[in-house]
């Protein structure tokens, strides 16, 4: 299924989203934000979709952030209280509440706002030519949400600060991204899409409701104190696993209803 700025396909319970503005290095604009909103809502509300692959067309870049030439002041509204960060619509979880697993396959350049796509992905793999950097500092604007998302992923503070403060001069290449935990696997460029789909197909074969409960519990725990997170997790365990309880447990519970 084609839209203006992405390609969207579903096969074998796996949805594939392909960023499709290669001539603009897959930088995002209003059209891509609208397409991504549609895609995430479709994925969230379609039970036959169990897993997602997020990838990009073109030889040079996965995503280079906002399309400055077209919409450099996208988030600036006449009424400051109506301003918002458009990057929120690009990612699956915070804005769209998608708890289905997302496997991101990153190649080439991933710059600045490109982090919106991967900071809320569940599994990130990259090709051996992937490069992560943040141009915000070079043009004199604040970089906040992108590096904060990296911190939530467990990338060390010092490395996040280098990435955000040194601009184009600080390039995190594939092997360093693996060492920092920004990605979990590096593969040859020609193998990237096949490997991402292999991972997604493996996950898609499992109980989709159990997978969603697992993802939701883990991500929500990042914003909770440890004790609260444990209570939340046990609640999800009891809620999600009750249908699979042993018959004796079910019979016992029935006696007290």
> What pLDDT does residue 88 have?
82
Domain of residue 145, CATH code: 3.90.226.10
Q: Assess whether pLDDT exceeds 50 at residue 250.
A: no
- 40 and 135 fall within a common domain: yes
Number of domains in the chain: 2
Q: Which position has the token pair 């569940």?
A: 122
User: In the 3-class helix/strand/coil scheme, how is the chain assigned residue by residue?
Assistant: CECCCEEEEEECCEEEEEECCHHHCCCECHHHHHHHHHHHHHHHHCCCCCEEEEEECCCCEEECCECHHHHCCCCCCCCHHHCCCHHHHCCCCCCCCCCCCEEEEECEEEEHHHHHHHHCCCEEEEECCCEEECHHHHHCCCCCHHHHHHHHCCCCHHHHHHHHHCHHHCCEEHHHHHHHCCCCEEECHHHHHHHHHHHHHHHHCCCHHHHHHHHHHHHHHCCCCHHHHHHHHHHHHHHHHHHHCCHHHHHHHHHCC
> What pLDDT does residue 96 have?
96
Q: Enter the pTM of the model.
A: 0.90
Mean pLDDT (the chain) is: 90
- 216 and 175 fall within a common domain: no
> What pLDDT does residue 170 have?
95
Q: What is the mean pLDDT of residues 117-135?
A: 97
> Rounded distance, CA 164 to CA 106, Å?
19
In a domain, residue 146? The reply is yes
In a domain, residue 48? The reply is yes
In a domain, residue 182? The reply is yes
Decide if 96 contacts 44 (C-beta within 8 A).
Answer: yes
Q: Assess whether pLDDT exceeds 80 at residue 252.
A: no
> What pLDDT does residue 80 have?
77
- 234 and 136 fall within a common domain: no
- 123 and 247 fall within a common domain: no
Q: Assess whether pLDDT exceeds 70 at residue 251.
A: no
> Rounded distance, CA 126 to CA 192, Å?
7
Half-sphere exposure for 68 (CA within 13 Å, toward CB): 9
> What pLDDT does residue 85 have?
76
In a domain, residue 152? The reply is yes
In a domain, residue 239? The reply is yes
> What pLDDT does residue 2 have?
67
Q: Assess whether pLDDT exceeds 50 at residue 95.
A: yes
> What pLDDT does residue 81 have?
81
Q: How far is CA 75 from the centre of its chain?
A: 21
In a domain, residue 111? The reply is yes
- 40 and 84 fall within a common domain: yes
> What pLDDT does residue 257 have?
39
- 216 and 197 fall within a common domain: no
> What pLDDT does residue 256 have?
37
- 214 and 198 fall within a common domain: no
- 240 and 118 fall within a common domain: no
Boundaries of domain holding 235: 208-255
Could you read off the pLDDT of 45-66 as tens digits, one per residue?
999 999 999 999 999 999 999 9
Decide if 172 contacts 132 (C-beta within 8 A).
Answer: yes
- 126 and 195 fall within a common domain: yes
- 212 and 193 fall within a common domain: no
Could you read off the pLDDT of 135-193 as tens digits, one per residue?
999 989 899 999 999 999 999 999 999 999 999 999 999 999 999 999 999 999 999 99
In a domain, residue 1? The reply is no
Could you read off the pLDDT of 7-48 as tens digits, one per residue?
999 999 999 999 999 999 999 998 999 999 999 999 999 999
> What pLDDT does residue 68 have?
81
- 138 and 212 fall within a common domain: no
């Amino acid at each position: 299924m084609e839209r203006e700025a992405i390609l969207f396909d579903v096969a074998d319970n796996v949805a594939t989203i392909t960023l499709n503005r290669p001539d603009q290095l897959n930088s995002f604009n209003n059209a891509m934000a609208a397409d991504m909103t549609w895609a995430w809502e479709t994925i969230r509300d379609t039970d036959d979709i169990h897993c997602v692959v997020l990838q990009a067309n073109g030889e040079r870049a996965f995503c280079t952030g906002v399309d400055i030439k077209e919409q450099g002041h996208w988030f600036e509204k006449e009424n400051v209280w109506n301003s918002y960060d458009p990057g929120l619509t690009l990612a699956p979880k915070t804005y769209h509440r998608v708890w289905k697993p997302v496997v991101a396959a990153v190649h080439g350049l991933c710059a600045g706002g490109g982090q919106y796509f991967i900071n809320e992905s569940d599994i990130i793999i990259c090709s051996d030519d992937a490069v992560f950097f943040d141009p915000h500092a070079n043009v004199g604007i604040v970089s906040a949400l992108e590096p904060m998302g990296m911190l939530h992923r467990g990338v060390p503070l010092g490395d996040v600060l280098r990435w955000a403060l040194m601009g184009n001069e600080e390039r995190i290449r594939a092997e360093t991204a693996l060492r920092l935990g920004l990605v979990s696997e590096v593969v040859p460029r020609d193998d990237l899409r096949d490997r991402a789909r292999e991972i997604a197909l493996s996950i898609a074969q499992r109980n989709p409701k159990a997978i969603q409960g697992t993802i939701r519990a883990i991500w929500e725990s990042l914003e909770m104190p440890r004790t609260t997170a444990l209570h939340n997790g046990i609640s999800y365990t009891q809620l999600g696993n009750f249908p699979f309880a042993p018959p004796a447990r079910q019979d016992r519970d029935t006696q007290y209803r």
